[in-house]
Copies of this chain bind each other. A is one copy, B any other.
Amino acid sequence: MVTTQDTRDDVRAGIVSAATQLLREKGANAVTTRAVAQAAGVQAPTIYRLFGDKDGLIDAVAEHVMATYVSGKSVAADGDPVADLRAGWRAHVEFGLTNPELYALIATRGSGAPSPATIAGLDVLRRRVRRLAAAGLLRVDEERALMMIHSAGNGTILTLLGMPAGQRDLGLGEAMLDAVLTSILATTPVTPDTTANAVAVTFATVLPDLPGLTDAERALMAEWLRRTLTHQTP
């Protein structure tokens, strides 16, 4: 039978919708299990049967809001990697400013595991950073670049949310992104050809200049590079 599953999903959607509206209109403190249950027309234990926990409800709200938000935008996954990163950054900042209570709720989980929404956001950001790295545009560690962009974005949004809506420095977001990009981007692609072979060849030429490695490590890497390059059949 499907009706039971359908009504279950309907009830679930209704609860999420009620919680979202409550969060937007009355603030985070107004999102209590009783208030949500009353607004959705269900009983309090229903929330626990469907979401297990209040945090589960919050996660579902975050997922719902983010889904409806990104559905309105077309994420350009092609084209210039840098332009894509900028677009993603702007969308992120705009999302934070559009949903202040929700963002403060999911971005500031005191301790413990980060929220699923945070993990999802980090994943899409990681994909964008990987494109930068693959294009030869990064001059820092991929993980380092990821963490820098994440920290800058999170800090910027929280700072903007911390000041009254009227006097927000709206250029702060662009300035922060420019600062991070200037620090992590290579001015021009370092290799015109990003095939594995070409990159390995280029890497072999800069290997002696890399700091923090012992001579033995450098020698081993050079040896392995030579092997992988001679392994090529063509």
Contact = CB atoms under 8 A, between A and B. Distances in A.
Interface residues of A, number: 84
A136 B172 contact: no
Given A111-B27, A162-B114, A183-B179, A198 B138 contact: yes
A74 B194 CA distance: 34
Contacts of A203: 199-200, 202-203
A205 B133 contact: yes
A201 interface: yes
A178 B171 contact: no
A162 B100 CA distance: 20
A200 B210 contact: yes
Contacts of A161: 111
A133 B100 CA distance: 32
A133 to B, nearest CB: 5
How many copies, total? 2
A148 B133 contact: no
A137 B179 contact: no
A98 to B, nearest CB: 14
A101 B111 contact: yes
Interface of A: 27-28, 100-101, 104-105, 107-108, 110-111, 114, 118, 130, 133-144, 147-148, 150-156, 158-159, 161-162, 169, 171-172, 175-176, 178-180, 182-184, 186-187, 190-191, 193-206, 209-213, 217, 220-221, 224, 226-233
